[in-house]
Amino acid sequence: MREMVDAKVTSQFQRAMRYVARCATRRGFSYQAVNEYGMNDTRVSFALTGCGVVSFFSAGMYDSREVRDGLRVLPAYRHQLVPDKLHYYYGHYYASQAMYLAGPDTWDLYYPAVRDEILSSPRRKPDGSWTDDVGSTYATAMACIVLQMPCEYLPIFQK
């Protein structure tokens, strides 16, 4: 019985990764599979590209074309984020994982600027929390996840 369940999970996982791969373009990851929705190519974003790269890393695909392209374009898409606005922390949540897992050369170019930007946010409250369009609990939790990345406090991010 367990073998049947494992085979089914493996099959579903492989199908899911094929879908994520179809969302990859040379310009990053899209919201939907671009070969199914041709006009969707314009919906490539910083957050989706970070998420796509992390998906590939999590699946053990560390040196695919999709990963290389995603890591190449992530820095260029960072300008899409407006500090303390919707998707700012979401984007950095995924991008910080992607950049960290990519290795020290990539991480060292990404993290110091993001760390400083988060710590100097004008929407950081005296009690140590952050706020954004979603709310203080969300913004603070996401900021803490991004800031702790090099400390590897969360087991999922330990190398």
Model confidence at 43, pLDDT cuts 50, 70, 90, reads confident
- Give the residue among 85, 69, 84 at the shortest CA–CA distance from 28: 69
> In whole numbers, what is the pLDDT of the chain averaged over residues?
88
pLDDT for the residue numbered 7: 78
Model confidence at 33, pLDDT cuts 50, 70, 90, reads confident
Residue 45, SS3? coil
8 Å CB contact between 132 and 77: no
pLDDT for the residue numbered 44: 87
- Give the residue among 140, 144, 142, 146 at the shortest CA–CA distance from 125: 140
Residues 148, 152: Cα–Cα separation, whole Å: 6
